[in-house]
């Protein structure tokens, strides 16, 4: 790794950690400020699929499991959609987060995949989201595929795709963001 | 055991224990899920010979197939040798299902076509014709929706749906090309299946409060006062729904641009452009109606106002697996389908603005109903009791926008199936 790459890796990692800390702290107002106006936030559904050619590991790919059944996403939000999602929590009737869930996001395996000519960085990370609310204690794990655009001292998030490791969510809802 | 211990004769109260008692749940497996027509899927999910899908009837795994002749059938997903599931995938295409345990092979019509060692270790004595997959006794299709019934003596699907079919047409039969079913989303909720089914069947009352986060403050509480043109309808047989009825002179663009139905121009244009076709197929009365919510007994729920269909798959007395689909007109343009799918997921499903808040309520009701004290204390279902109306324009009985007419019908059907008493 060049010095420049190391610097970029650390900067992206630090940004992801700070972002996770804002969500853990329920500072959705500040989190919305991290989003680019072109943000596309998506959680595709996932379904187990047989390998096309069991001898060829390239056909064992996760990709085939995404949108396997008609491409119906769990979340498919633009900026306005995310604002509605967050705004709902401030109405005093967003019962799924009243009182708010206790949550912890562990972000790991941060890998910079690509830096586009326009400066946008493609980064993947693994996330463990633990959530406790009422009598429910749930754990989600997944991969996040992000695109960050450099902005000021940090970045803005312009794309996030969350690949959850579940076909059937063992959770009563998805009231938190990854 | 008399049903009066559990459900009032007029449906005006229930004992909470019916929402949590394990012994009653065991009885439901036979008397409800063993004898009712259960939604299995949609013909659009089985586009060609060899297409199959895996689903559940009650807690039992079932495969639904389209065989080489194009016929749709359903079978218990259990090898006749040791009962291992012969199908391990949600959907796909296959003309043979091979058990992974000892390798028995079945055709898409359920027949046993291969037994390893048939000649050498079975001495050619096994009668393969007798050992095919156990068929679901009755399978029938209503306007694209595939239903199955384990009971060979159960009344026909048409009889089972009764007047509910007239209303289902509003979403299933708008257009010549029919519909297609997309999805599902699947997730677990720690709730009894009936708590969720009765909510779909008849609960307009909760919308303004439980879903207050979605409505502007001035719209939220309005569900506590009747909305003109909106009615709860009890078609009978345990089914129920809520509808909006628009005056003859109203144009579709007017109702498409109001409330949570509010749609972008290309979607409004689509419904306006296809309105005449709908009038032709169903008549003005049904073309001027939108279905808001509903349920077909016992566990087929729907929120048609956002094109959501759901199967509430029971997982014991205290848990369900929700399967939530999006239903769209098959011949709608891709852009319209995409918007409907996104709108459906943004409002219902595990991350939906509405349904996020439902799950906790349903879980809490189930939890309470298991309390040694609380399970005996009746719960009130009297809203609108004795004020049911009839109309010569709409089959069934009518209640106000908020009325528990349908919950009463739901639990009386439950009592009927479980204990043979009269259902409303």
- Given a contact cutoff of 8 angstroms between Cβ atoms, the answer to whether B270 and B333 are in contact is yes
Task: For residue B248, give both structure tokens.
Answer: 């003859």
Q: Is the pLDDT of residue B94 over 50?
A: yes
Average pLDDT, chain B: 93
B289 backbone dihedrals φ, ψ, rounded to 5°: -140, 135
Contacts of B185 in chain A (CB under 8 A): 45, 72, 74
Q: Which of B68, B69, B73 is nearest to B96 (CA)?
A: B68
Strands B320-329 and B179-189: antiparallel
Contacts of B351 in chain A (CB under 8 A): 43, 74-75, 173-175
Lowest mean pLDDT among A20-24, B3-7, B244-248, B358-362: B3-7
| Distance from C-alpha of B228 to C-alpha of B8, rounded to nearest angstrom | 30
CATH number of this structure's domain B10-23+162-419, picked from the four choices 3.30.300.30, 3.90.380.10, 3.40.50.300, 3.40.190.10: 3.90.380.10
| Distance from C-alpha of B230 to C-alpha of B228, rounded to nearest angstrom | 6
Cβ A168–B342 below 8 Å, yes or no? Answer: no
What is the nearest CA distance from A57 to chain B, expressed in angstroms? 19
Cβ A174–B351 below 8 Å, yes or no? Answer: yes
Shortest CB distance from A91 goes to which of B186, B187, B212? B212
Q: Which of A97, A123, A88 is nearest to A11 (CA)?
A: A123
Q: How many CB atoms lie within 10 A of CB B169?
A: 17
Give the residue, A48 or B327, on which the prediction is more confident.
Answer: B327
- Mean pLDDT value of segment B93-103: 96
Cβ A88–B353 below 8 Å, yes or no? Answer: yes
Q: What is the predicted pLDDT for the residue at B184? A: 94
- Given a contact cutoff of 8 angstroms between Cβ atoms, the answer to whether B55 and B40 are in contact is yes
Q: Is the pLDDT of residue B200 over 50?
A: yes
Where residue A87 falls among pLDDT bands split at 50, 70, 90? very high
Q: Which of B88, B100, B60 is nearest to B315 (CA)?
A: B60
- Given a contact cutoff of 8 angstroms between Cβ atoms, the answer to whether A109 and A126 are in contact is yes
Q: What is the predicted pLDDT for the residue at B424? A: 43
Cβ B188–A167 below 8 Å, yes or no? Answer: no
Residue A172 lies in a domain: no
Topology of domain B38-141, per CATH? Rieske Iron-sulfur Protein (2.102.10)
B34 backbone dihedrals φ, ψ, rounded to 5°: -85, -10
Q: What is the predicted pLDDT for the residue at B97? A: 97
What is the nearest CA distance from A93 to chain B, expressed in angstroms? 5
- Given a contact cutoff of 8 angstroms between Cβ atoms, the answer to whether B13 and B4 are in contact is no
| Distance from C-alpha of B36 to C-alpha of B412, rounded to nearest angstrom | 15
- Mean pLDDT value of segment A75-103: 95
Q: Is B89 on the interface with A (CB under 8 A)?
A: yes
- Consecutive H or E run containing B114: strand B112-114
Q: For the segment B65-91, what is each residue's pLDDT rounded down to a tens digit?
A: 999 999 999 999 999 999 999 999 999
Chain region(s) in chain B for CATH 2.102.10.10: 38-141
Contacts of A45 in chain B (CB under 8 A): 183, 185
Query: What is the DSSP secondary-structure string of B359-370?
Result: HHHHHHHHHHHT
Task: For residue B297, give every residue at least 6 positions away whose Cβ sits within 8 Å of its Cβ, in sequence order, or none.
Answer: B36, B197, B237, B238, B239, B410, B413
Q: What is the predicted pLDDT for the residue at B423? A: 45
Cβ A49–B89 below 8 Å, yes or no? Answer: yes
Residue of A nearest to B216 (CA): A91
Cβ A74–B342 below 8 Å, yes or no? Answer: no
* CATH number for position A137: 3.10.450.50
What is the nearest CA distance from A94 to chain B, expressed in angstroms? 5
| Distance from C-alpha of A38 to C-alpha of A159, rounded to nearest angstrom | 8
Q: Is B222 on the interface with A (CB under 8 A)?
A: no
Cis peptide before B218 (omega within 30 of 0): no
Strand order in the sheet with B145-149: B38-42, B145-149, B138-142
- Given a contact cutoff of 8 angstroms between Cβ atoms, the answer to whether B379 and B371 are in contact is no
Size of interface A-B (CB pairs under 8 A): 121
Contacts of B89 in chain A (CB under 8 A): 48-50
Q: Is the pLDDT of residue B260 over 70?
A: no
| Distance from C-alpha of A137 to C-alpha of B164, rounded to nearest angstrom | 40
Shortest CB distance from A172 goes to which of B186, B326, B360? B360
Q: What is the predicted pLDDT for the residue at B289? A: 93
Task: For residue A62, give every residue at least 6 positions away whose Cβ sits within 8 Å of its Cβ, in sequence order, or none.
Answer: A143, A163
Chain region(s) in chain B for CATH 3.90.380.10: 10-23+162-419
Q: How many CB atoms lie within 10 A of CB B318?
A: 20
Contacts of B340 in chain A (CB under 8 A): none
- Consecutive H or E run containing A37: strand A35-43
| Distance from C-alpha of B277 to C-alpha of A61, rounded to nearest angstrom | 44
Q: What is the predicted pLDDT for the residue at B61? A: 98
Contacts of B210 in chain A (CB under 8 A): 95
Residue A175 lies in a domain: no
Q: For the segment B412-421, what is each residue's pLDDT rounded down to a tens digit?
A: 999 999 999 6
Q: Is the pLDDT of residue B345 over 60?
A: yes
| Distance from C-alpha of B283 to C-alpha of B111, rounded to nearest angstrom | 44
Query: What is the DSSP secondary-structure string of B231-254?
Result: EEEEEETTEEEEEEE--TT--HHH
Residue A68 lies in a domain: yes
Domain count, chain A: 1
B276 backbone dihedrals φ, ψ, rounded to 5°: -60, -40
Chain A positions with Cβ closer than 8 Å to B: 43, 45, 47-50, 68-77, 81, 84-85, 88-89, 91-96, 133-136, 167-175
Where residue B214 falls among pLDDT bands split at 50, 70, 90? confident
| Distance from C-alpha of B215 to C-alpha of B210, rounded to nearest angstrom | 10
Q: What is the predicted pLDDT for the residue at B212? A: 85
Q: What is the predicted pLDDT for the residue at B257? A: 74
pTM over 0.80: yes
Q: Which residues pair with B84 in a beta bridge?
A: none
Q: How many CB atoms lie within 10 A of CB A117?
A: 5
Residue of B nearest to A96 (CA): B357
What is the nearest CA distance from A117 to chain B, expressed in angstroms? 31
Cβ B214–A88 below 8 Å, yes or no? Answer: yes
Shortest CB distance from B185 goes to which of A72, A93, A133? A72
In this prediction, what percent of chain B has a pLDDT beyond 90?
A: 85
B413 backbone dihedrals φ, ψ, rounded to 5°: -65, -40
Q: For the segment B294-332, what is each residue's pLDDT rounded down to a tens digit?
A: 999 999 999 999 999 999 999 999 999 999 999 999 999
Q: For the segment B175-186, what is each residue's pLDDT rounded down to a tens digit?
A: 999 999 999 999
Contacts of B350 in chain A (CB under 8 A): 74, 169, 171-174
- Mean pLDDT value of segment A120-148: 96
Task: Find the domain containing A55 and state its range.
Answer: 3-164
CA triple A81-A82-A87, angle to 5 deg: 100
Q: For the segment B101-146, what is each residue's pLDDT rounded down to a tens digit?
A: 999 999 999 999 999 999 999 999 999 999 999 999 999 999 999 9
Q: Is the pLDDT of residue A130 over 50?
A: yes
Q: Is the pLDDT of residue A85 over 70?
A: yes
Q: What is the CA radius of gyration of chain A?
A: 17
Q: What is the predicted pLDDT for the residue at B261? A: 56
Q: For the segment B352-368, what is each residue's pLDDT rounded down to a tens digit?
A: 999 999 999 999 999 99
Where residue B221 falls among pLDDT bands split at 50, 70, 90? very low
Work out the end-to-end distance of chain A between its first and last CA atoms, rounded to an integer number of angstroms.
Answer: 29
């Amino acid at each position: 790794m060049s010095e420049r790459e190391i610097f970029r890796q650390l900067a992206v990692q630090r940004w992801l950690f700070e972002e996770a800390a804002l969500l853990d702290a329920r500072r959705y107002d500040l989190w919305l400020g991290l989003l680019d106006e072109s943000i596309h936030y998506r959680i595709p559904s996932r379904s187990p699929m047989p390998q096309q050619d069991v001898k060829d590991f390239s056909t064992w790919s996760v990709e085939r499991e995404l949108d396997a059944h008609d491409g119906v996403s769990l979340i498919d939000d633009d900026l306005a959609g995310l604002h509605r999602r967050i705004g709902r929590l401030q109405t005093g009737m967003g019962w799924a987060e009243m009182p708010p869930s206790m949550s912890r996001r562990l972000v790991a395996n941060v890998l910079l995949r690509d830096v586009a000519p326009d400066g946008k960085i493609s980064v993947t990370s693994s996330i463990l989201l633990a959530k406790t609310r009422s009598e429910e204690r749930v754990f989600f794990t997944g991969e996040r595929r992000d695109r960050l655009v450099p902005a000021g001292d940090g970045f803005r998030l312009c794309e996030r795709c969350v690949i959850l490791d579940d076909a059937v969510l063992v959770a009563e809802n998805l009231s938190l963001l990854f | 055991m008399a049903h009066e211990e559990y459900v009032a004769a007029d449906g005006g109260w229930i004992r909470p224990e019916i929402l949590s008692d394990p012994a009653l749940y065991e009885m439901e497996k036979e008397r409800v899920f063993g004898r009712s027509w259960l939604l299995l899927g949609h013909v659009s999910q089985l586009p060609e010979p060899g297409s199959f899908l895996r689903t559940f009837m009650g807690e039992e795994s079932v495969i639904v197939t389209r065989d080489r002749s194009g016929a749709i059938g359903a079978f218990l997903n259990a090898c006749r040798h040791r009962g291992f599931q012969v199908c391990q995938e949600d959907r796909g295409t296959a003309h043979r299902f091979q058990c992974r345990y000892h390798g028995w092979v079945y055709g898409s019509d359920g027949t046993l076509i291969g037994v390893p060692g048939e000649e050498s270790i079975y001495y050619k004595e096994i009668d393969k014709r007798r050992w095919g997959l156990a068929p679901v006794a009755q399978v029938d299709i209503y306007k694209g929706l595939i239903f199955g019934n384990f009971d060979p003596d159960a009344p026909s699907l048409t009889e089972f749906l009764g007047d509910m079919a007239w209303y289902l047409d509003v979403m299933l039969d708008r257009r010549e090309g029919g519909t297609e079913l997309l999805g599902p989303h699947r997730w677990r909720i720690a709730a009894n299946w009936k708590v969720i089914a009765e909510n779909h069947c008849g609960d307009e009352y909760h919308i303004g409060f439980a879903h207050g986060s979605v409505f502007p403050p001035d719209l939220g509480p309005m569900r506590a006062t009747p909305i003109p043109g909106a009615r709860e309808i009890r078609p009978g047989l345990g089914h129920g729904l809520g509808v909006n009825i628009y005056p003859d002179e109203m144009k579709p663009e007017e109702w498409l641009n109001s409330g949570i139905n509010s749609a972008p121009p290309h979607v409004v244009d689509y419904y306006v452009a296809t309105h005449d076709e709908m009038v032709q197929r169903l008549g003005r009365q049904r073309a001027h109606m939108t279905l808001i919510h509903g349920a077909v007994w016992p566990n087929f729920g729907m929120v048609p106002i956002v094109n959501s269909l759901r199967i509430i798959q029971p997982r014991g007395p205290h848990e369900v697996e929700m399967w939530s689909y999006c239903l769209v007109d098959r011949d709608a343009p891709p852009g319209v389908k995409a918007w409907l799918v996104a709108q459906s997921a943004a409002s219902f499903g595990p991350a939906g603005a509405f349904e996020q808040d439902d799950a906790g309520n349903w879980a809490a009701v189930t939890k309470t109903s298991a309390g040694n004290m609380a399970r005996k204390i009746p719960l009130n279902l009297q809203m609108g009791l004795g004020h049911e109306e009839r109309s010569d324009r709409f089959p069934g009985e009518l209640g106000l926008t908020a009325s528990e007419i349908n919950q009463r019908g739901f639990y009386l059907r439950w009592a009927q199936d479980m204990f043979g008493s009269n259902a409303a």
